[in-house]
């Protein structure tokens, strides 16, 4: 009898924690969390892995723009293993990013909601409102950042010195980060933000929008996220929301920058990265591509994995939709230059 009571109490305690995290996305809190697990076969745009280069030579070309590769095809490294090899360049899927207005909602984990039981501010994506005679559209998102080294798991590339040998993990959750909730606290990470609030600095972002849509973003304009808006503040408070697709993508791009600023993401592209990754506190935007995988995966077309700052107008419509399709997930592709044995 005692065993039965203990088992019942344990089951109730587990249910209290897991019930809000139902894999079917049952209603919990302010709204229903939705999403699906990423299928490596059907949901990943494997064409985003290219172009594949050897030195400056494209041995597997692609219509997608590429970053600058080392000029010479031969490279030599002393660490981590002394070697002479080939300077290869490719794009690898390495991270997943959740973006949701609902706290503790994980679209890329099947749409579960893991509520620990203490309140965190709810996000929102507002419709047009009138404040002082002017139309105001704003948004606030929670973001999660996963370690997801897909090429290493599938052994698509056999030189493991070039791949991140790690397991799946949730590396960052904005709900437990006070810097993500408050613009003033966020200045601890980006005190330079005050330098880029002028109309001239913001007007320069229009050039970044054109460049990132046509080819690659302008890395020198690091305070811009192209067509999405400003990179500052490095949190989910979006001052200009023109649609969930645009504002959710901006929140994901800010999280990527935040990871670099905190030393949790490093540089992997260019000649400097041939032998090892390097610290990159100022984001090199051209190093990344974003592919939407939730609520509907984009697996075809040049815009399926567009650079940071590229317009969200060109891809076909219906990628997000009301109620069930408002929780967004991205697969992050990273450029990798490496000295292959």
Q: What is the pLDDT of residues 102-117, one digit of tens each?
A: 999 999 999 999 888 8
Question: According to the per-residue pLDDT averaged within each range, which of 14-23, 195-204, 249-258 is highest?
Answer: 249-258
What pLDDT is stored for residue 302 in this prediction? Answer: 84
Cα dist from 118 to 19, 29, 175, whole Å: 15, 12, 11
What pLDDT is stored for residue 167 in this prediction? Answer: 86
Please determine, for residue 134, whether its predicted confidence score (pLDDT) is greater than 80.
no
User: 3-state secondary structure string, 132-190?
Assistant: CCEEECCEECEEEEEECCHHHHHCCCCCHHHCCCCCCEEEEEHHHCHHHHCHHHHCCCC
What pLDDT is stored for residue 266 in this prediction? Answer: 96
Please determine, for residue 96, whether its predicted confidence score (pLDDT) is greater than 70.
yes
Range name among 135-139, 145-149, 175-179 with the lowest pLDDT average: 135-139
* 22 against 114, higher pLDDT: 114
Domain assignment present for 1: no
Domain assignment present for 30: no
Range name among 22-31, 90-99, 208-217 with the lowest pLDDT average: 22-31
Domain assignment present for 106: yes
The model's pTM is: 0.87
Please determine, for residue 307, whether its predicted confidence score (pLDDT) is greater than 70.
yes
Domain assignment present for 20: no
Which domain range does residue 166 map to? Answer: 39-340
For 244-272, the pLDDT digits (tens) are 999 999 999 999 999 999 999 999 999 99
What pLDDT is stored for residue 7 in this prediction? Answer: 41
Q: What is the DSSP string of 183-242?
A: HHHHTTT-GGGGGG-SHHHHHTHHHHHHHHHHS---TT-TTB-GGG-B--SSSSEES--S
Q: Which is nearest to 105 in space by CA: 186, 174, 40?
A: 174
Domain assignment present for 32: no
What pLDDT is stored for residue 264 in this prediction? Answer: 94
* 127 against 137, higher pLDDT: 137
Domain assignment present for 21: no
What pLDDT is stored for residue 160 in this prediction? Answer: 62
**Mean pLDDT, residues 199-210:** 95
Where are the strands (E) in 280-322, listed by range?
Answer: 288-294, 305-307
Domain assignment present for 19: no
What pLDDT is stored for residue 14 in this prediction? Answer: 38
Tokens of 249: 């993508």
Domain assignment present for 34: no
Q: Which is nearest to 145 in space by CA: 3, 330, 341, 271?
A: 330
Please determine, for residue 163, whether its predicted confidence score (pLDDT) is greater than 70.
yes
Q: How many structural domains are present in the chain?
A: 1
Percent pLDDT > 70 in the chain is 86
In whole numbers, what is the pLDDT of the chain averaged over residues? 86
């Amino acid at each position: 009898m005692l065993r039965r009571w203990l088992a019942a109490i344990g089951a109730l305690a587990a249910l209290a924690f897991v019930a809000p995290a139902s894999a079917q996305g049952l209603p919990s809190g302010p709204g229903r969390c939705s999403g699906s697990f990423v299928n490596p076969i059907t949901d990943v745009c494997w064409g985003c892995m290219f172009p594949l280069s050897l030195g400056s030579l494209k041995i597997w070309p692609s219509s997608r723009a590429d970053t600058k590769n080392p000029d010479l095809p031969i490279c030599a490294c002393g660490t981590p293993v002394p070697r002479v090899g080939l300077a290869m360049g490719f794009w690898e899927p390495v991270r997943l990013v959740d973006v949701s207005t609902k706290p503790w909602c994980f679209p890329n984990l099947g749409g579960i909601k893991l509520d620990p039981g203490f309140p965190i501010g709810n996000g929102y994506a507002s419709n047009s409102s009138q404040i002082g005679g002017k139309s105001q559209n704003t948004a606030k998102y929670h973001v999660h950042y996963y370690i997801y080294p897909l090429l290493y798991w599938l052994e698509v590339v056999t030189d493991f010195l070039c791949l991140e040998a790690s397991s799946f993990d949730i590396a960052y959750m904005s709900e437990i980060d006070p810097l993500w909730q408050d613009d003033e606290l966020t200045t601890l990470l980006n005190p330079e933000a005050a330098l880029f609030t002028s109309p001239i600095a913001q007007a320069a972002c229009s050039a970044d929008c054109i460049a990132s849509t046509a080819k690659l973003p302008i890395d020198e304009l690091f305070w811009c996220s192209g067509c999405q808006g400003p990179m500052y503040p490095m949190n989910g408070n979006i001052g200009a929301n023109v649609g969930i697709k645009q504002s959710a993508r901006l929140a994901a791009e800010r999280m990527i920058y935040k990871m670099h600023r905190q030393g949790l993401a490093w540089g992997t592209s260019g000649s400097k990265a041939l032998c090892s990754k390097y610290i990159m506190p100022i984001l090199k935007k051209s190093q990344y591509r974003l592919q939407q995988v939730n609520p509907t995966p984009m697996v075809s077309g040049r815009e399926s994995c567009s650079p940071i700052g590229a317009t969200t107008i060109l891809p076909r419509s219906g990628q997000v939709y009301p109620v069930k399709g408002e929780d967004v997930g991205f697969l992050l592709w990273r450029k990798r230059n490496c000295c292959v044995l």
